[in-house]
Amino acid sequence: MNLLLVVFPCLVAAVAAAPQFTRPNLPDRPFIAIVRDDRQDLGNGAFNYVFEAANGIRESRVGNPGSKGQSNMQGAYRFPLDDGTFAEVRYVADESGFRAESPLIPTPHPLPAHAVEQIRVAEEQRRRGIQF
């Protein structure tokens, strides 16, 4: 009987603490269906992956083993913006690092002509061995 008095409250506490698998009521965050989730692992470090949601979010990635033990990957992802358009980013990650391309990524302003000329002169002077 004493064992039952200890075990039963523990079971009740475990059931009460278990995660709830019902979706909370979030009126401002609608449920988004997953329309595609394809994954392939070739077992040697190579893989490919495509994920797409009903609201237009999409990611695709292809990976292969790199020469220095890393995973070389290339892919793209996109997501909807508030104005109804989509932001898209294409990327490559390999021995040279991570490089992303997108019209939404800010780029530096071009250098003025006089600065470009100064850099050219400095490089020429370095080639000729001139030091200051």
Residue 72 lies in a domain: yes
Residue 96 lies in a domain: yes
Say what the pLDDT of residue 14 is. 66
Mean pLDDT of the chain: 85
Residue 36 has pLDDT above 60, yes or no: yes
% residues pLDDT > 70 (the chain): 78
Residue 122 lies in a domain: yes
Residue 20 lies in a domain: no
Residue 121 lies in a domain: yes
Q: Nearest Cα to 90, choosing from 10, 108, 98? A: 98
Domain count, the chain: 1
Say what the pLDDT of residue 53 is. 93
| Mean pLDDT comparison of 10-19, 48-57, 100-109, highest-scoring range | 48-57
| Tens-digit pLDDT profile for residues 63-97 | 999 888 888 999 999 999 999 899 999 999 998 89
Residue 1 lies in a domain: no
| Tens-digit pLDDT profile for residues 104-132 | 888 888 889 999 999 999 999 999 998 87
What range defines the domain where residue 67 resides? 30-127
SS3 per-residue string spanning 23-84: CCCCCCCCCCCEEEEEEEECCCCCEEEEEEECCCCEEEEEEEECCCCCEEEEEEEEEECCCC
